[in-house]
């Protein structure tokens, strides 16, 4: 993809380079009844100085979200806070951020990345979640995710269910094919409605969203419906107007290339992305 086109696409999905940009976009969302899931871009950080900078950015972000009464959460990536260097560093930074977030009343999500790291990330999350309650992302394109969702739920964890944004690789434990991923997503979603009080359904699939809303009319769970900023903001706005709990995943920062590339490659999103180019994404 040409650099200029990639940068233009990124501008539709990403709030901007700094915290001010993210907070301003989050305020716009809040005015329309939509909460923000704010993410500082960055992953696979192998230098401790870069990890330290990411952690301090999240600390500052949490403080400012609290002071400005932004309605929203933050979401961070394990390899952004030290996992590429070592699990111990990642856990120390995760605890530091969680403690600061608890003090300021901001909820923290732990994103999920490559399949090879799933076990380590879940183990770290469940250990910290015993005293500092947060949420974790589960990817429906992994065959193991049903068992992971059950384990997390049994241990009082909170799940954000997504389809997954990393390309299929043989032997990785991924489900090959959109139909299989949708089926797995639907099964995990129904499990959550039956066994969890609070969770997040994160998808642009309007069929799955309709099924989830129908299930919740019976189950009465604390469900939030989440989408990526800039893909289908009009639909998110419509759902919020219908008094559903809606959030948009809102990245900011200068490390936008990897994020944009995954959005374009993500299975099932290409049609939505192409449609979004001809829609207004203003809130």
Q: What would the two tokens of residue 2 be?
A: 């040409």
Nearest residue to 168 (alpha-carbon basis) of 143, 187, 151, 186: 143
DSSP, collapsed to helix, strand or coil, labels residue 228 as strand
Q: What does the pLDDT read at residue 12?
A: 72
DSSP 175: -
pLDDT of 265 over the 60 cut? no
Q: Give per-residue pLDDT as tens, 148-161.
A: 999 999 999 999 99
pLDDT of 107 over the 70 cut? yes
Contact (Cβ atoms closer than 8 angstroms) between residue 250 and residue 15: yes
DSSP 254: S
Nearest residue to 45 (alpha-carbon basis) of 76, 105, 5, 85: 85
Q: What b/e string do you get for 30-57 counting C-beta neighbours within 10 Å, with b at 16 or more?
A: beebbbbbbbbbbbebeeeebbeebbeb
CA 281/CA 269 separation, integer angstroms: 16
Contact (Cβ atoms closer than 8 angstroms) between residue 72 and residue 247: yes
Enumerate domains of the chain plus CATH numbers: 3-276 (3.20.20.220)
Q: What does the pLDDT read at residue 1?
A: 43
Q: Give per-residue pLDDT as tens, 48-93.
A: 999 999 999 999 999 999 999 999 999 999 999 999 999 999 999 9
Q: What does the pLDDT read at residue 70?
A: 98
> pTM for the whole thing?
0.90
Q: What does the pLDDT read at residue 173?
A: 87
pLDDT of 165 over the 60 cut? yes
Nearest residue to 66 (alpha-carbon basis) of 101, 95, 35, 39: 101
State the average pLDDT for the chain: 89
CA 209/CA 215 separation, integer angstroms: 10
pLDDT of 131 over the 80 cut? yes
% of the chain residues with pLDDT over 90? 77
% of the chain residues with pLDDT over 70? 84
């Amino acid at each position: 993809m040409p650099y200029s086109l990639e940068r233009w696409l990124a501008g539709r999905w990403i709030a901007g380079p700094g915290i001010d940009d993210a907070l301003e976009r989050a305020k716009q969302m809040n005015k329309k009844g939509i909460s923000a899931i704010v993410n500082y871009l960055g992953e696979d950080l192998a230098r401790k100085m870069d990890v330290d900078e990411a952690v301090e950015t999240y600390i500052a972000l949490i403080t400012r979200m609290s002071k400005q009464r932004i309605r929203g959460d933050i979401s961070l990536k394990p390899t952004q806070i030290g996992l590429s260097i070592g699990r111990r560093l990642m856990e120390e930074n995760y605890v530091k951020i969680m403690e600061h977030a608890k003090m300021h009343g901001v909820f923290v999500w732990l994103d999920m990345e490559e399949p090879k790291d799933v076990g380590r990330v879940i183990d770290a999350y469940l250990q910290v979640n015993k005293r500092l309650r947060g949420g974790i992302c589960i990817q429906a394109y992994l065959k193991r995710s049903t068992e992971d969702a059950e384990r997390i739920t049994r241990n009082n964890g909170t799940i954000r269910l997504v389809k997954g944004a990393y390309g299929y690789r043989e032997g990785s434990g991924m489900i090959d094919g959109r139909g299989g991923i949708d089926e797995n997503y639907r099964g995990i979603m129904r499990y959550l409605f039956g066994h969890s009080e609070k969770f997040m359904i994160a998808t642009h699939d309007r069929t799955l969203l309709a099924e989830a809303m129908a299930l919740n009319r019976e189950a009465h769970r604390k469900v939030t419906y989440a989408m990526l900023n800039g893909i289908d903001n009009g639909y998110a706005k419509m759902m919020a107007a219908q008094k559903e709990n809606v959030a948009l995943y809102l990245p900011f920062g200068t490390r936008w290339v990897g994020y944009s590339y995954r959005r374009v490659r993500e299975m099932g999103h290409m049609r939505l992305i192409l449609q979004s180019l001809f829609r207004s994404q203003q809130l």
